[in-house]
Amino acid sequence: MVGPGPDGDLDPVAYERLNEIGSWMKINSEAIYGTKPVKPYQEAKIAFTKKGNSVNAIYLPDENGKSMPDKILISAVQPIIGSKIYLLGYKKPLS
């Protein structure tokens, strides 16, 4: 919960968190807003959403996780042959 202190200001940590969330949402909101969950819904630490013809795989780190692993293997969802796979925030498709 985020709320002001007696002086009407937020704790500095709250500002930091809100900025982090805003930065994350600038890149990843496409996988959140206007989407629906798609089967199999979750595989290990990956949750799946869909909007239009795009399926999003969202990595769910451990509570103290600070970075993504070098490789993420997904077997539950297979792209259609010829599809391009993108990492949100990067313009080039992944190999």
- pLDDT of 19 above 90: yes
Res. 95: pLDDT tops 90: no
Domain span including residue 57: 30-95
Burial class (CB in 10 A: 0-12, 13-18, 19+), 48: buried
**pTM for the whole structure:** 0.77
Within-domain flag for 14: no
Is residue 47's pLDDT more than 90?
yes
Q: Is the pLDDT of residue 35 over 90?
A: yes
How many distinct structural domains can be found in the chain? 1
Which tokens go with 25? 């949402």
Residue 22 has, within 13 A of its CA and on its CB side, a CA count of 6
Residue 7 lies in a domain: no
